[in-house]
């Protein structure tokens, strides 16, 4: 079955540490996105990529980095510069604005 796989489901980060969240899709979608979800705040866009080797900052990109070396993969690195990284992170993909978005099951990141 086609879909989006996010891993790990739960991730714990120590202060000052970089961590990478994985997002893989087998839907053959060109565009991929990372959102952050906090209680009571809704989803906010971190980064998005419309094509391989190209990506754009979203509304809250500071403290995050991404790469898009393959169509299927769009990993998100949460760097030590992100001061409040505890949140639920959602990856999505789309084949075009006409067709809507498909989301993964999320990664919950906690700072310990």
Partner 1 sequence: KQEVTQIPAALSVPEGENLVLNCSFTDSAIYNLQWFRQDPGKGLTSLLLIQSSQREQTSGRLNASLDKSSGRSTLYIAASQPGDSATYLCAASNYGGSQGNLIFGKGTKLSVKP
**Which positions lie near partner 1, rule CB under 8 A?**
6, 31, 33, 40-43, 45, 48, 50, 56, 58, 88, 90, 92, 94, 96-106, 108
Report the nearest approach of partner 1 to the CB of residue 31 (Å): 5
Q: What distance in Å separates the CA atoms of residue 76 and residue 104, rounded to the nearest whole number?
A: 14
Closest to partner 1 by CB, 2 vs 16, is: 2
Closest to partner 1 by CB, 48 vs 85, is: 48
Q: What distance in Å separates the CA atoms of residue 49 and residue 25, rounded to the nearest whole number?
A: 13
Closest to partner 1 by CB, 33 vs 64, is: 33
**Burial of 28 from C-beta contacts in 10 A (0-12 / 13-18 / 19+):** exposed
């Amino acid at each position: 079955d086609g879909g989006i796989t996010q891993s790990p489901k739960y991730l714990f980060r120590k202060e000052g540490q970089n961590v990478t969240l994985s997002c893989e899709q087998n839907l053959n979608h060109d565009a991929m996105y990372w959102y952050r979800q906090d209680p009571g705040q809704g989803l906010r866009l971190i980064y998005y990529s419309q094509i391989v080797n190209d990506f754009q900052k979203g509304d809250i990109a500071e403290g995050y980095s991404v790469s898009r070396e393959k169509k299927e993969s769009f990993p998100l690195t949460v760097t030590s510069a992100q001061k409040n990284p505890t949140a639920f992170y959602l990856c999505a993909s789309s084949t075009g604005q006409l067709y809507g978005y498909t989301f993964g099951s999320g990664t919950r990141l906690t700072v310990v």
